[in-house]
């Protein structure tokens, strides 16, 4: 069976637009978190994978972009103070299960937030050694960009504050 030319042309046009959308999503997330760059995508993963290629600038990890325009964020080795500032600044105080006040005051542990809109699952770990992790599944690109930017901004502010202090 062959596809009729007008349908084939429309599908090709759609594919071009979809690829451009994916490329722009990747670019937006890369701008939000400096050091995040394209990587070879494993066969079991989403069509686009971005990894932190400069580990220890702001943790380690990856962001995957799926065919539905959703991101999965897996960041480790992120300073607890950066996580707390970014999450509290983005969500407000006490949005995560187990945190009755600011995350900075919550102490080491694992904190969850399930969002109904979008249907994303957030897991924040504040580690014993002041190093934690952030993991989010099924986050729309815009929201992922906001989260990554909040983390990067908190890191930059804290680095500037530390440099000014001495």
Q: What is the pLDDT at residue 118? A: 74
Q: What is the pLDDT at residue 94? A: 85
Q: What is the pLDDT at residue 55? A: 62
Decide: helix, strand or coil at residue 166: coil
User: How would you write the pLDDT of the chain (166 residues) with one tens digit per residue?
Assistant: 789 999 999 999 999 998 999 999 999 999 999 889 988 766 666 778 999 877 666 789 999 999 888 999 999 999 999 999 999 999 999 888 888 899 989 989 999 998 877 788 999 999 999 999 999 998 999 999 999 999 999 999 999 999 999 7
Q: Residue length, the chain?
A: 166
Region of 131 on the Ramachandran plot (φ > 0 left; ψ -120 to 50 alpha; else beta): beta
Q: What is the pLDDT at residue 152? A: 95
Q: What is the pLDDT at residue 42? A: 66
Q: What is the pLDDT at residue 28? A: 96
Q: What is the pLDDT at residue 41? A: 67
Who's near 67: CB < 8 A, 6+ residues apart? 46, 47
Report the domain count for the chain: 1
Full domain range(s) for residue 11: 5-165
Write the CATH number for 159.
Answer: 3.30.1460
Other residues' Cβ atoms within 10 Å of the Cβ of residue 37: 13
| Beta partners for residue 76, in sequence order | 60
């Amino acid at each position: 069976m062959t596809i009729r030319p007008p349908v084939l042309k429309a599908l090709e046009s759609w594919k071009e637009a979809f690829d451009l959308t994916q490329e722009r999503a990747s670019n937006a997330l890369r701008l939000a978190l400096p050091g995040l760059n394209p990587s070879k995508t494993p066969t079991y993963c989403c069509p686009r994978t971005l990894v932190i290629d400069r580990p220890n600038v702001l943790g380690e990890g990856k962001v995957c972009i799926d065919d539905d325009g959703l991101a999965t964020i897996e960041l480790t080795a992120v300073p607890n103070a950066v996580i707390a500032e970014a999450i509290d600044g983005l969500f407000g105080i006490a949005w995560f299960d187990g945190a009755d006040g600011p995350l900075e005051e919550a102490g080491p542990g694992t904190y969850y937030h399930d969002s109904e809109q979008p249907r994303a699952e957030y897991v924040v770990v504040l580690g014993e050694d002041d190093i934690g992790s952030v993991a989010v599944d099924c986050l729309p690109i815009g929201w992922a960009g906001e989260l990554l930017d909040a983390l990067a901004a908190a890191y930059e502010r804290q680095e500037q504050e530390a440099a000014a202090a001495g």
